[in-house]
Structure 1
Amino acid sequence: MSADPGQVAATAAATNAFGVDLYRALTAGGGARGNLVLSPSGLATVLAMALPGARGATADELSKALHTGLTATQYAVATGALDRQSRPADGKDAAVLRRSDTLWAQQGLTLDPGYLATLAAAFDTGVRTTDFRTDPAGSRQAVNALVEKDTEGRIKDLFGPRDITPDTRLVLTDALYLKAKWREPFQHSRTSDQPFHRLDGNAAAVSTMGRNGVLRYAEGSGGIAGQPWQAVELPYAGGNLAMDVVVPAQGGFEGFVHGLDAAQLDRILGGLAERQVDLTLPRFTFETSNNLVGPLRALGVNTAFDAADLGGIPGPGEQERLKVDAVVQKATIAVDEDGTVAAAGSGVGIGAAAAAIPTPAVELHVDRPFVFLIRDTVTGQPLFLGQVADPSPTS
């Protein structure tokens, strides 16, 4: 089943819009004050694995939240193709980008052949069986162990004890692992403790890297929600992956995040052009864990968790109705002078329902909260998206 290039491009844009929506939902109501990392493509992939089994209002709500007008099969195939296109080519300095998609099913549960064929064609997904009914704890351990293995030990215990129960019938997972060197690393000799101005008005001394060089840069005055900002792109070696850092002016971070949408982010990224940049950037390492049922409900996905119609998943003769019980994601990121290591595990639990270089150099000293995005600069697929509110090791 081949993917249409236009549908792949549309799906990349849709995943970007979905990621920004999810980011805003997670940072609403005070969430903007903490560190956050999420994987838009990871969650879009597991939902793309569920969508071909959805019918009626359940399918409509999922499609709307995912910003896609494609059929469920077209969306799954385009998402799978997009995931494959983002894998770097082999080479000495090429980034390591691995992902695996798995379907776990209750022993003895018959699944619709067409549903399985779509997942196999789009994501190369086979079926692993386990006994959720009589051994939910052992089943959860098996699911979590595979995600941990596929993320090089970075994502542990993706599903909690309440996420997988005797009523669970299916679990869909996406495991994503990235290890990438900067195309031009920061010099270790330039790293020093510098003040970082947190949202509470206090400053903390944090380990801060520095470099000078030609980078893609943009700035805006009176931009999103009236907040000035600066942005820079840091390419990784051996491919098309890059990290974009967007830094609102001091005191403007929360207003900036509140006003951010996919169109605004596209305008920021579209304005990047080569400049000589004097850059400082904190080192940071953290992980976040999110139950995504609430944020998805905020995006209009409701029937999947209530009166779900997932009739395209069970095979002939199966009588139980299914509904989504859990949507979870864990992600971690570590950024230093040499590059980035990031990983994400995303899961869905389904249960029985009862230009020219100008001079002089610009300065971008990232000494205040910022937004970051790791993406494929060719397809536009957002692999990771988040914010750093406090890079202190104890944050």
Structure 2
Amino acid sequence: MASKHPQDVRLAQTAAKASNTFASNLFRVLTEGGSSNNIFFSPMSISTALAMTFMGARGETASQMSQVLHFNILEESVLHQSFADLSALIFRADAPYTLKAANRLFGHKGLDVLANFVDDSKKYYGASMETLDFIGDGEGSRQHINSWVEKQTANRIKDLLAAGSIDALTRLVLVNAIYFKGDWAAKFQVSKTSPEKFHISATEDFDVPMMHQRGKFNFGRDDSVSSSILELPYLKNEVSMFIVLPDQVDGLVDVQKKLSQEMIDSWVTEARMRDSPTVIVSLPKFTLEQDFVLNDVLRKMGMSDPFDAGKADFSGMTGDKDLFISKVIHKAFLDVNEEGSEAAAATAVVMQAPTSCMPARTLEFKADHPFLVFICDNKTGAILFIGQLCKPEGDTIMGDSPSEKGMGSGGNVLGNTCLCPPPPPPLPCP
């Protein structure tokens, strides 16, 4: 997605706040009941994909999406410009790291999409419309979309759309893909990486390759969740990874319950409010891969009408109430090693037709039990990726198998939306 100079930094920061609030709410829903599963996703990708979809939403459908995605903290007249400004600040060609995003609309060759929707998708999200034959060649269309996503994510997100995702009722697929690769400002030495125990619980542990280094890092405490916060900046300090490490092996449950956008902001502020102490850092070398079907989670959060063929109103796309969201699919990937990190994500929206004070001493930060992790753009405060590491398996940490409830293994993919017409007629519409 080509970046342009932002019109208003304040608008970008407000869009970041909306995305971050959605991120913390989504994380809480995914971890309800004290989940001990690995979780990783890109709120930036999901918010962007659904923001594109929101351009075509009207009535109660738009109201529900606005509430759940927290678009209501932005003035409607500048909402999409706010996301455009946020992208312009984050996705820069001259950045000291690789961070890029791409959006695209894939529409059925017989779908009559309103010119305003196509033009605004291009203006605000850099999303061009590509025409495919979903009815005559659904499988070829699926492979074509997946290939586009792979290319945008340096081959990290594969098979975003599973077999059968595209059928004769599919009318529109909105896709967002995001990719990040950055070197640590202070790299870990490979020679210091050694096998150590990662404690999943009081009675269960695994051997993992543990990286080590000693240096000055931003470090904070949040006694409300009995956790330490460590900032690991990437080169030039424009993007950082934050690790939130509970004191106790089972302490992540309290973080899950209380997580909020305000709490994330306070962690960043707390870590940076004093001179950086010397910290002995121990961090696992790990990979997280996960995919989600977010339908049930978004319904639970209050977005039900967009998935209901009888109630969905996306007339801003076609002029008629002839489309509803059949699936919101997200995949994400994170690799953390001595050099730095690599992360990717993609989101697809598929639409169908119906039928505290720090002591003056060396501190130790040993991430040898479950912790929360997020990657943050330091200019805007936008959370690019967020998740939790609970169950390492050797030197690779994988998610569970995909499910309608939202957790699984896979790549990092954001923003793929498919629009379809209401329940099928006797024969597929041309």
Indicate the TM-score class for this superposition, using the shorter chain for normalisation. Answer: over 0.9
> How far apart are the structure 1 equivalents of 2:214 and 2:305?
52
* CA deviation profile, 1:2-23 (whole Å, cap 9, x unmatched): 7443322111111111111111
Q: Which residue of 1 aligns with 2:264?
A: 265
- Which of 175, 181, 184 is the matching residue for 1:182? 184
**Match status 1:252 vs 2:251:** yes
Q: Count residues in correspondence.
A: 385
Q: In structure 1, give the amino acid aligned to 2:340.
A: G
My pick for the range that moved more, 256-265 or 180-189, is 256-265
* CA deviation profile, 1:213-247 (whole Å, cap 9, x unmatched): 111111122x13xxx10010111013511100001
- Checking the alignment, whether the CA contact within 8 Å between 1:193 and 1:207 is kept in structure 2 is yes
* CA deviation profile, 1:317-369 (whole Å, cap 9, x unmatched): xx661100110100011000100011101110011134x99621111111110
TM-score normalised by length of structure 2? 0.85
Q: 1:89 deviation in Å?
A: 5.3
- Which of 155, 171, 181 is the matching residue for 1:169? 171
* CA deviation profile, 1:126-167 (whole Å, cap 9, x unmatched): 110101122221111111110011111100111123432211
> How far apart are the structure 1 equivalents of 2:7 and 2:304?
29
* CA deviation profile, 1:4-51 (whole Å, cap 9, x unmatched): 433221111111111111112222245x21212100000000001011
**Match status 1:349 vs 2:347:** no
Q: Which residue of 2 aligns with 1:362?
A: 363
> How far apart are the structure 2 equivalents of 1:89 and 1:158?
26
Q: Which residue of 2 aligns with 1:138?
A: 140
> How far apart are the structure 2 equivalents of 1:350 and 1:72?
23
> How far apart are the structure 1 equivalents of 2:175 and 2:195?
40
> How far apart are the structure 2 equivalents of 1:113 and 1:201?
60
> How far apart are the structure 2 equivalents of 1:112 and 1:277?
56
TM-score normalised by length of structure 1? 0.93
Change (3 A) 1:192 1:211: same
After TM superposition, the runs of 4+ consecutive aligned structure 1 residues lying more than 4 A away are none
Q: In structure 1, give the amino acid aligned to 2:232.
A: L
**Structure 2 matches for 1:256-335, cutoff 5 A?**
256-273=255-272, 274-306=276-308, 307-314=311-318, 321-335=322-336
Secondary structure, in 3 states, of the residue corresponding to 2:206?
A: strand
- Which of 40, 43, 49 is the matching residue for 1:40? 43
Q: In structure 2, give the amino acid aligned to 1:235.
A: P
> How far apart are the structure 1 equivalents of 2:232 and 2:252?
21
Q: In structure 2, give the amino acid aligned to 1:337.
A: E
**Structure 2 matches for 1:1-395, cutoff 5 A?**
3-29=7-33, 32-69=35-72, 70-72=74-76, 74-88=78-92, 90=94, 94-199=96-201, 201-221=203-223, 223-224=224-225, 228-250=226-248, 251-273=250-272, 274-306=276-308, 307-314=311-318, 321-354=322-355, 359-393=360-394, 395=397
> How far apart are the structure 1 equivalents of 2:75 and 2:324?
20
Secondary structure, in 3 states, of the residue corresponding to 1:157?
A: coil
Q: 1:100 deviation in Å?
A: 0.6
Q: 1:314 deviation in Å?
A: 0.7
My pick for the range that moved more, 104-113 or 70-79, is 70-79
> How far apart are the structure 2 equivalents of 1:214 and 1:90?
27
Q: In structure 2, give the amino acid aligned to 1:373.
A: F
- Checking the alignment, whether the CA contact within 8 Å between 2:219 and 2:231 is kept in structure 1 is yes
- Checking the alignment, whether the CA contact within 8 Å between 1:88 and 1:240 is kept in structure 2 is no
Secondary structure, in 3 states, of the residue corresponding to 1:77?
A: helix
Secondary structure, in 3 states, of the residue corresponding to 1:238?
A: helix
Q: 1:80 deviation in Å?
A: 2.3
- Checking the alignment, whether the CA contact within 8 Å between 2:313 and 2:321 is kept in structure 1 is no
> How far apart are the structure 2 equivalents of 1:282 and 1:207?
6
Gaps of 5+ in 2: 398-430
Q: Which residue of 1 aligns with 2:426?
A: none
Q: Tell me how large the CA RMSD over aligned residues is.
A: 2.0
> How far apart are the structure 1 equivalents of 2:90 and 2:56?
26
* Percent of aligned positions that are identical: 33
